[in-house]
Each structure stands twice: as C-alpha cells, then as structure tokens.
Structure 1
C-alpha cells in the first residue's frame, strides 16, 4: 500500500508546475498560516526550505489556539519534546491529497528519535479520507483534518490542518488513557510494563476491562508464569501490524511462541475469536488493537471469529474488572479532544464510513504569543 502511495505521489509531484514558490513564500501566501509563518525560527525555515520530497502538515492559526496548557507543560518540561513534535509534522515523502487512498495508509514521518519512538523507519501518521476530506490520525486516535490541501512549494507539499498532531505515547500510558486498566494492571502484576513499552515494532491486542471481567473467575489462581504466558500471547514483536497489513487467514507467531489467527471479513477484524473493537491506536513502539475477549494460549484452536465459542469455556464473570486496583484513573480517553476512537466491529476495517468526525479540542485555549510561540522560537530543530 505504501509503495502504491509513493508511486501516486511521485506522479502527482511530476505534474506540478516548475514555478513553485519557496517554503517561505508558500507560508506567506496563505492567511491561515500567518501564525505559523511568524513563529517558525529562521534557521528552522532554512532547514526545511533546503529539504526535498517532504510533506508538511501545517497547523492553521486556529489550531494553535486549541493547544492545551497540559501540552504546553509537557513540551516545556521534556527535553527534545518541541523538536520531536515539529519532526512529527513532516512526512517523509511528498504526498498530495490525491495520493491518499480511501483505505488509508500509514505514512512515516521524520520523527525517529528513540526517546519518542521505536518504530523502524520513523513514527507514522494514519492518513485516510472521510467524506472527501483527508484526515490524519495520531496519538490516542486524535484526528487532524486537512482544511486546505496541496499548497505546493519547492521541497514538496503543505497540507493545512485544524489541530496540532499528538505524538503517540507509551503502551502503558495509552492503556491508562483508554481505560484499559485491567491490561495495565496485569502488565504491572507480571512485571512486563517496561518490556512492552520498550520493545521495538510491536503489535499488541489489548482486551477491554469487560473482557477481563467476563473471565474473572479464571484469573485469581493464576501463577505469575501463567499470567505472563497469557499476556505475551497478546503481543507480536518485530512487526507493526497496522490494520491494512492484517490479512485474512494469516497465522502470526506471538511473543508467547504460540500463533494467533487473523480473520478479516465484512464483519471486521478478528484475532482468533476476539473482535477488534478499536483498531490502529498508535503507540511509541508500534500499534495497539483493542479486542473484546482475552486470548487463551491454551485454546488457540478457537480461530473462527464467527463461531462464538469462548476462549475460556469454564470461566464466569465477576463483579469488578480484575487487576484494576491501584491503577491510575483514565485522564485522556482514546479519541478525546480532537476525535474519537475508530470502532471496526460494525463494518469493513478499512472503510472510511466508520471514521469519527473531527471535533474541536475542548481544552482551554492559550495565548499563542506567550506560550507556543515562545517554545517554537526556542526550538533547536534539525532534520
């Protein structure tokens, strides 16, 4: 898919007239980018101007007004965070809107700093289309909609977006934000938090709290080793399995050593008999798919997503979600702020019809001149 995207992008780029403006002139040409044009330091502008074959996702004036105080605090307190955020807004390749396929594509950015990402080739954005608009999904399934597409400049193309992108966080942080506190608590109990946070190129199938609650009677007697075997059966290492890469009938080895079977049909995506209810939650080191059942490494033959057979046949539900005691309260739900999660259980996993509409960030606005402007002016950005 990415190869086809690159070919389409190259053909579109070849059709652009040779009298394209410089980056500085392109920024000045749009009234929507006056804030960005005034904030980007001269050395950053020169670096980007000398680059070629890139796509800049440029926040509109209104996007800066929606930057939350929490984001500002994180940027100021974390070394390199501003640089990382800027790099995450630059795609590695020139992608006009016509190059974005309806089924979506996961496009690498220039964010490769291992303090922020552990994805080979650079952290990605999920580019897709929704009602003829291009939408970029980023950390916590926040979305940014392109308001003005295809502003060409000598090094590539600019798309003006309505929301500042969110860099994907760690697996444990995303589990907390998504309310997957049973998963997080189980990882803590098995001493696997650091492992899942730092292993590069992972695919994680994360059961909901309800999924753990539904088999709650089977969990209290588990040894630490048994719990580890169950949790590692939900992790694939060495392959970032975005939804567009999950093929029907594929059998994939997990960290546990046993395989899971992928089913992709009109009803959605299934892992063994568990349905993916939220797909493609980007994390710092790969992707998380939220599933509605806990997978059982001792019952891997339950591979038909439509048969309804439970993976833990003798288990019964309990009144409270297991492993949640002492876990942090969800503070930034999946899709909160800029958008909502993408459920896949009601239609094709690659259908744009299931995508949420972009909504305004509800966080209080900040004074750009005294906040984000000062941060950008101080950024030591290099590509």
Structure 2
C-alpha cells in the first residue's frame, strides 16, 4: 500500500525484530544509524526503495548488514550488475541485497586472524542459491588488521568501518558490492579451469554436477590435464564421467574441514584422502592450489593433478614440488584437452561439421547475475577489489563474513 511510508515499514520491521531478539547489540534503530552515515546515502536510498528486504529481519535472531559505501556503488557501471541496476531489475537487486545480510550478529572484533569463516546470508531463493541454509560469504582477518570479504567469482571487498551497532544487529561498511556465487561453468571460466569444464561436458556430467545441491568439487587446473594428454583425452565418455564423479563430494567441505587424515566419500564411490605436509595440503597426491571458491551449489577447491579413481591410495611426495601424474601413459601436450567439448554460446564460428557432440548436450539450469560465454581460453584468475578490467565478470566485490 502506497499510503505506508518506508520509514513506517522500517519501524514496524525493526520493532518486531527487536521484540523477538534475545540479545540486542545496540539502542539505535537501523534507520537512524544509516541516516547518520554520510558514506552510506546510496545504500540507504536503495533499501528504502526495496523495504521488503528489511521486513524479513524479524525472522532472524540478530543480523549483520554488509553495507557497501557510496564509492562501491560508483563501480556498478563497470560491472556485470550494471544492466540490472540501470533497469531497476527488482529480482536481481533484491537478491543481491539479501546476499549482503548475514544471519546472526558477527563482530569484526571477534575474528581470529587467518581463520576463514563461512557465514550464511538471507539469500535463499532456489534460483540464486542451491545450498542448505542460505548462500554464504567468506570472512577472514588478514595481517595489519585488514578484514576481507570473498564472494562469487573470487571477488574481494575490504571492511572500511566496523561494528556499527543498532537494535537487533550490526552494520559493517565495505568498499565493494558482493556478487552472489555463480554456476560451475561461469566460475570455471573465471578461474581458467576450462579443461575441467570441458571434461564435465565430455563425460555428460555438467548438468548433474551443476544442479546437485551442496557439493564440493576438487577441480584440477589446466596444466594437470595437459600433462596427461592422451592418457585421459582418449577415454570414453563413461570413463571420463567416472573420473569427474571422483572429483565431486556430495557435501560442502570448506578448507577448514580439509583436516589431515580426513576421508571424503566421492560421488564415484571411492574415498578421497586429505593429507597435510608442512604448509601444504594434498588431496590424495594432488596439491591444493586454491581453496574455497564459492559457487551457486557449493564450493570448488583447485588442485594441481587429476585424481584417479583406480588409484585412490595415491600419496604425495612432499620432498618434490610437482607430483607425478597418476595415470599410465601420460604424455604432455600443448593444447588444452576437452576445451573443444565446451559448447559455443556467443560469436560462434560457422563450420562445415560440428567439432564436438557436446554442443548438443544440455547446459546447466542454474541462474545467476552473470551471462555465460563459453570459450576455450577462460577468463583471468580471481580478482582483487576494484575494477581492473571494465566488463566481463569484473567484480564489485566479494565478501568475507564477519565473526
């Protein structure tokens, strides 16, 4: 009803929230707090425009609002959120706003340096989040009292002002918008994991891997596939499917759960073993290169070797920097195996005969902020805060949650 002002809706929302909250963190209401922060005028205006976000607050026992400052919104024209914000796309904007509200009250002052935390948000819509309990943001305290947030596409945002308490929660001011995690195809392209993506298509596993809820994926980098060459690229679709299943675990395991000696049951049926040696972490004999890449339905960990379900007992040799392939007949090649299996979606060359049957296969149905453009080379690795390249999936930020 238009007769209700936003402030009335906000007062009702926060009034109910305060009444149902066991422990209030402050005595200032949210509207007053935001109005008093000159660097949050854009965010304050936006949530006035979409008050339904705040009406959810009474359902939660305390919240943490990651509020992008005015400079963060100035980056939108150079990001993949630009079209949605220009068009006032309510579905995109409200879901992005929900991703900025953490369940529970989390203070930056309580963070343990170096220990990542993964906190669920209010983003629970199935078309945006295929994980139990709400899509998460990663939060970590780094050296020099720097608090960083990491979200979709590995994008990063930094905390600029911490622990502003209001009745029923706390506001943390950040320097970039958070990007909800995207599906597997968009994420593998952003991290240059195109051989792994192509192998999912070649094994007809792209849909099941993309759409299964709560997954952990150990994704070998492109070099891991190159050193195998024909030892894997000559396999049948069923053999490749078995290998892809061996890289997938049907539960979410973040880096904090990759403890020494842990065994994880893969979707293929054989166990995967986690081993530690010094500062290195190994998945069977493959070294962990980059952990905790958030995706719409779980998390990806990048590794430097292709796991072999026929040799689940493979162990690393920590004395050497590069582990040997675990496939007989491995021979290094210069091309990237399986990238031709990725269906072309934009600017596709016209050829007399199809280069791969994969183009006829179904593609993932998961939706996201981004539009996918399949290509064999892939996009750059995870980006830091800021807009280094206008366009593509330049991130407005990622978020790490506050404990």
Where structure 1 has 5 or more consecutive residues not aligned to the other structure, the ranges are 1-12, 340-358, 366-371, 373-383
Q: Distance in 1 between matches of 2:130 and 2:330?
A: 37
Does residue 95 (structure 1) correspond to residue 102 (structure 2)? The answer is no
Equivalent position of 2:81 in the other structure: 71
Alignment check: 8 A CA contact 2:193 2:378 kept: no
Alignment check: 8 A CA contact 2:153 2:294 kept: yes
- 2:47 maps to which of 31, 34, 40: 40
Kindly state the Cα deviation for residue 187 of structure 1 after the two structures are TM-superposed. 0.9
Superimposed CA distance per residue, residues 205-226 of structure 1 (whole angstroms, 9 cap, x where no aligned partner): 0011110000012024311111
Aligned to 1:299, the other structure's residue is in SS state coil
Superimposed CA distance per residue, residues 134-170 of structure 1 (whole angstroms, 9 cap, x where no aligned partner): 1111011111110000111112000000000010000
Q: 1:79 to 1:231 in 2, by over 3 A?
A: farther
Alignment check: 8 A CA contact 1:250 1:262 kept: yes
Alignment check: 8 A CA contact 2:53 2:94 kept: no
Does residue 325 (structure 1) correspond to residue 372 (structure 2)? The answer is no
Aligned to 1:219, the other structure's residue is in SS state helix
Does residue 123 (structure 1) correspond to residue 135 (structure 2)? The answer is yes
Q: Distance in 1 between matches of 2:103 and 2:24?
A: 19
Q: Distance in 1 between matches of 2:265 and 2:169?
A: 40
Q: How does 1:1-383 map to 2 (within 5 A)?
A: 16=25, 20-41=27-48, 43-44=51-52, 47=55, 50=58, 52-67=61-76, 68-74=78-84, 76=87, 80-102=91-113, 103-131=115-143, 132-237=145-250, 239-304=251-316, 306=318, 308-325=323-340, 327=342, 328-329=374-375, 332-336=379-383, 339=384, 359-363=385-389
Aligned to 2:159, the other structure's residue is in SS state strand
Aligned to 1:335, the other structure's residue is in SS state coil
Q: Distance in 2 between matches of 1:80 and 1:305?
A: 50
Alignment check: 8 A CA contact 2:118 2:138 kept: yes
Q: Distance in 2 between matches of 1:202 and 1:49?
A: 29
Where structure 2 has 5 or more consecutive residues not aligned to the other structure, the ranges are 1-21, 343-373, 397-403
Alignment check: 8 A CA contact 1:246 1:264 kept: no
Q: 1:21 to 1:286 in 2, by over 3 A?
A: same
Superimposed CA distance per residue, residues 92-114 of structure 1 (whole angstroms, 9 cap, x where no aligned partner): 00001122222121111111111
Q: 1:80 to 1:113 in 2, by over 3 A?
A: same
Alignment check: 8 A CA contact 2:204 2:237 kept: no
Q: Distance in 2 between matches of 1:147 and 1:232?
A: 42
Superposition CA RMSD, Å: 2.4
Q: Distance in 1 between matches of 2:155 and 2:285?
A: 28
Kindly state the Cα deviation for residue 268 of structure 1 after the two structures are TM-superposed. 2.2
Kindly state the Cα deviation for residue 313 of structure 1 after the two structures are TM-superposed. 4.1
Superimposed CA distance per residue, residues 326-351 of structure 1 (whole angstroms, 9 cap, x where no aligned partner): 64235653323xx1xxxxxxxxxxxx
Equivalent position of 2:12 in the other structure: none
- If the length of structure 1 is used for normalisation, what is the TM-score? 0.80
Kindly state the Cα deviation for residue 364 of structure 1 after the two structures are TM-superposed. 5.1
